[in-house]
Structure 1
Amino acid sequence: MTLTAPAFNARFMLSNSRSSRFGASVTNAYWHTEEGNASAVQLAGFCGNPANNASYHDIVRDGIVCHVVDDDYASWSVLNANPSSYNLCFAGSRAAWTEAQWMARADDIRVAVWLTLEVCRRKGTIATEILAEGGGRYRRGSGIADHAYVTKVLGIGNHTDLGLGFPWWFAKQILAEYLAPEPVKPVVLNAIDEEYKRIGAEGSWLGKRITQGESDCRTRGGKFAEFENGSIYWSPETGAKAIPTLLLGAYANRDYENGPLGYPIGDHTVLTGPDGNAWGDVQGFEGGPLYRKYGQTGYRVHGLILATWRRADFENGELGWPTSDEIALANGDIVQHFERGDVFYSPTGTVALRPQDGPDQHFPIAH
């Protein structure tokens, strides 16, 4: 493991807001948002009072790292998962942040990766891999995730941070840099060709290449190339990702990379229904994921409406698949239609309703 510390100012503000690990092995690292605008020092001071019943091992903001709980102890961060976890919080952050807002804190993400890997090295029991797959989905196991993993995968609590805008792709990039046995050398291959080879070239679902070379996109110096069953889009910020033909129609309807979706940031994923059979697709884009049920067009779901849909178990839940994009209402609120209900957004939050004769019925969605 090659670790070269990024620049930060460490402060030791050790607190008694902690517990014994009771012999538990530390198997996971979880990252958190503050849901406020405190500095690292201010949040560490809050965690220093045991009466507040909250603490983290490390707190990061603007190049300041506050060590609050020694990682030989459990912090008070994730309820029953405390004994087996290391916990780090980004002070002054929110789960509703967009990817752009998170990337403005890119240096802090780099620091978080380094601190977490140091704990992995000392403990030797945490897998040095990120479990987040994007779109609110995770692989179960030992590794690095966030508070939403504890809620969705372990079934503990109801927190949703870091939020769907967190750039896990960037964290994985930094993780790969730190884990490289020697400095990463530039790859000579064209990025789109490299992605094509990664997928499986002509033997993959993309099929044969149609265009020779790459075509220019309209924004941010991006490129794309066409294949039998899809296209690969690339930008300097997002790298290269393939989009299948059946999602390209929905992408085109939203003006490709020039529209609200932006460039793809995740791999295309086939979704399976309750019977285990494939019944749709999802792919992550800068402006939110694009979901498409087979036989229908695709729709973008993002922000707090996506968070509400996630709490309702996405397409497998009571709301079902999206049947529209967001629609602006005359009063300034927003509604998005789903197969069996609607989700309304206003500055005060979101509500899911089931249309019926008389007053609409609330969906019982956990918060």
Structure 2
Amino acid sequence: MSSIDDKWQTIQWIGPPVDAGGGMNEAPNPDGRGSSRDFQNGTIEWSPQTGAHEVHGAIRDHYAQLGGPEGFLGYPLTDETGTPDGIGRYNHFEQGSIYWSPATGAHEVHGAIRDYWGQHGWERSQYGYPISDEEGPSPANRLSRFQGGMLSWTPAGGVREAVAFDDD
């Protein structure tokens, strides 16, 4: 049995493996680091560095849109977990997190903005849940939007609260 099989034994709610044309066995990922297997209600990703973790629902969909384990977030470090405020859900990944709530949907947060948000209380902070992925005109000028405001980052200034501009 593999680590993915072992994980599946502990989370049977994920359903049976699905045949994606290549059989129902786990398949190595293109990055050569790990493997994955799709199940009826989610995916289990594994790498030697992170172990086996499940991703499902809207977080799984967004993770796939961002490139899955081959994308910038890398492999999951946690199973999907309920947030301490009891409203949303999240997965932490090697290079960031995806948070979901019914009001905001699923959005990624990473780097210094994620660190700042976490230091201030995550979703229980004044910022609430993310309402956008990190964006910006360049790698040196980044912005994340949250329910309670925006956080920006530049190499020179670090993370700061961003001012929203009125469209009027």
Structure 2 length as normaliser, TM-score? 0.84
Aligned residues: 162
Uncovered stretches (5+) of structure 1, i.e. residues with no partner: 1-188, 359-367
Cα 1:295–1:318 change in 2 (3 A) is closer
Give, in whole Å, the separation in 2 of the partners of 1:227 and 1:331.
Answer: 35
Deviation at 1:333, TM superposition (A): 1.7
Which structure would you say has the larger Rg? 1
Moved over 2 A (4+): 207-211, 294-297, 328-332, 353-358
* Partner SS for 1:289: strand
Give, in whole Å, the separation in 1 of the partners of 2:139 and 2:107.
Answer: 23
Cα 1:237–1:330 change in 2 (3 A) is closer
Q: Name the structure 2 match of 1:350.
A: 159
Deviation at 1:312, TM superposition (A): 2.9
Q: Name the structure 2 match of 1:109.
A: none
Deviation at 1:295, TM superposition (A): 5.3
* Partner SS for 1:320: coil
Find the partner of 2:126 among 318, 325, 345: 318
Give, in whole Å, the separation in 2 of the partners of 1:191 and 1:331.
Answer: 36
Give, in whole Å, the separation in 2 of the partners of 1:267 and 1:245.
Answer: 12
Give, in whole Å, the separation in 2 of the partners of 1:317 and 1:353.
Answer: 16
Q: Name the structure 1 match of 2:72.
A: 260
1:334 matched to 2:142? The reply is: yes
- State whether residues 263 and 285 of structure 1, in contact with CA within 8 Å, keep that contact through their aligned partners in structure 2: yes
> By percentage of residues, which structure has more strand?
2
Cα 1:307–1:237 change in 2 (3 A) is closer
* Partner SS for 2:83: strand
Give, in whole Å, the separation in 2 of the partners of 1:353 and 1:242.
Answer: 34
Q: Name the structure 1 match of 2:90.
A: 282
Cα 1:336–1:195 change in 2 (3 A) is same
1:207 matched to 2:19? The reply is: no
Uncovered stretches (5+) of structure 2, i.e. residues with no partner: none
Q: Name the structure 2 match of 1:217.
A: 29
Q: Name the structure 1 match of 2:9.
A: 197
* Partner SS for 1:234: strand
Q: Name the structure 2 match of 1:248.
A: 60
After superposition, the CA RMSD in angstroms is 2.2
- State whether residues 281 and 294 of structure 1, in contact with CA within 8 Å, keep that contact through their aligned partners in structure 2: no
Give, in whole Å, the separation in 1 of the partners of 2:139 and 2:2.
Answer: 49
Q: Percent of aligned positions with the same letter in both sequences?
A: 28
Which residue type is aligned with residue 315 of structure 1? E
1:228 matched to 2:34? The reply is: no
